[in-house]
Structure 1
């Protein structure tokens, strides 16, 4: 078949990686972001049209691009804390199993206190008894203060407890710039490789779209592709490499 009538189709599968950039625009090591359902780019172009004034029909005589931008949508599927930390631009704290001797709280009758950790055990409140003055909700990391007990409404109390190993995320979105690369498998062309790299993106703040529900979590994150003026002219947005 003549080369001019030959076509190759693309259906990409594979891992997605993000890396923060240094001052020279180089990646500071790529990290796998977990299972990603899709990555989509949406280009937007603004034009200025010039109308001719000769024929009386005001035809478009010229058209100039005045502005162009590309929004990227990444649909994350993995709820692994390290992956969520990247998607949410959060700080990740890894905590080994341990104990808290005196965590300060204010008690309110028939309401619950949220402890600083989940999956707790051996909860103790000085001068109070479990089941009489308070109820422990161990898995949730919460303590219910009973109005029928001896703890005063609005009283300042300290709580001691043990907790299991866990990871804490603290969302702290910043204006960090990333490089994104997708070394994909083209399942529509004998699983040949194709790799797309977007040199410079900034990620919008995000939030889990489904905290509770009967389906798996999905997290849609928006990003903006930026021109990388640290790269050679003509190669400042993104690039592809394809296996022959």
Structure 2
């Protein structure tokens, strides 16, 4: 005997309504379940294995590097080459109006941890933090120069695409929320713990003007720079594009 299951009319009507709306999320959300926003956010960047990290470009994403990578959210060399070819080429923009204060950093990430301490924990080994989330011990290997460090105070958190470089290549026209996302991006390969010496040597220079002294890092550096510039729709100069191509050519595939 086949049992008949009665579905209340209200439930049936609600189900039909959701189906017609394309399986939208709760009230106030879009089809992807996220609240609508008028603020521009960077396009999702596939990870090295072809997946897409959640909420790219937003503080608190908490992305983790893939196996063999020092940075999260890196696309493959092949994808990086495609994205590099698609980037708009333009002359270096003006620094008029620039200030680091226009890029809010370091943002709070919860549990008393700001973005700096979050990256130190992510990029180190055996990292121990105090009650205020400050790293008090650990080990870090700096990608740019290959130096091993055991004191957190000797590490800087580098913006892969420096804030000033971002300003010159498109960020001058962003709103405050987008600049904050750019300065605290934990999902794309925009933040990395490196030695203070290598970070300060780099300054705000683009790849044609500064390259990591450790050439073994060039593949990741080129992939990371291209990933970030593509996601945030920033421009590149011709010399910058040429050097990025050279860096990507060091990748095994």
Q: Give the shorter-chain TM-score range.
A: under 0.3
Question: How does the TM-score come out when normalised to structure 2?
Answer: 0.18
Question: How does the TM-score come out when normalised to structure 1?
Answer: 0.18
**Higher share of residues assigned strand:** 1
**Higher share of residues assigned helix:** 2
